[in-house]
Amino acid sequence: MKTYKELISEVDESLGFSARKALGRRMKMMAKKSSVKFKKARNKLKPLPPKMALKKGQKALRHWVMQKIAGKGKNISHLAIAQKERLEKQADKRMKGGKFKALAKKFAKKIMKKHRDFMIKAKEKKAEG
């Protein structure tokens, strides 16, 4: 049996073609469930925990680095899966060091602010309706 750390390190690695497709199918099915919709709506009313904000900041930073590697004119979402895998590996190689940790914190701050704004709007909307 795998330990939690082994499982997490496995998840952090870039996904292969079949794993990426399977994950997409699973997420698509989950998005339709009412329990997931309810949890998302409830989480919009709660403040974003700092750890979650940092995690989202790292994800945004990774996407930003991938876009830098791909170039301004290219849309990452329209690339082939093999190209995306290659981009992810290149981005992971570049994202080492204190510079990227600081950038992740900066992205996390932006995400926290954005979530705070969404939270206020969602609370106002809930109070009205």
Task: Give me the tens of pLDDT residue by residue for the chain, a chain 129 residues long.
Answer: 666 566 556 555 667 778 888 988 999 999 999 999 999 888 888 999 999 999 999 999 999 999 999 988 888 889 888 888 899 899 988 888 889 999 999 999 999 999 999 999 888 888 887
Task: Please report the pLDDT score of residue 110 as a whole number.
Answer: 95
* Cα gap 121→52, rounded to integer Å: 20
Q: Tell me, what's the pLDDT at 81? A: 83
Backbone angle region of 97, left / alpha / beta, with phi > 0 → left and psi within -120 to 50 → alpha:
left
d(C-alpha 95, C-alpha 117), whole Å: 29
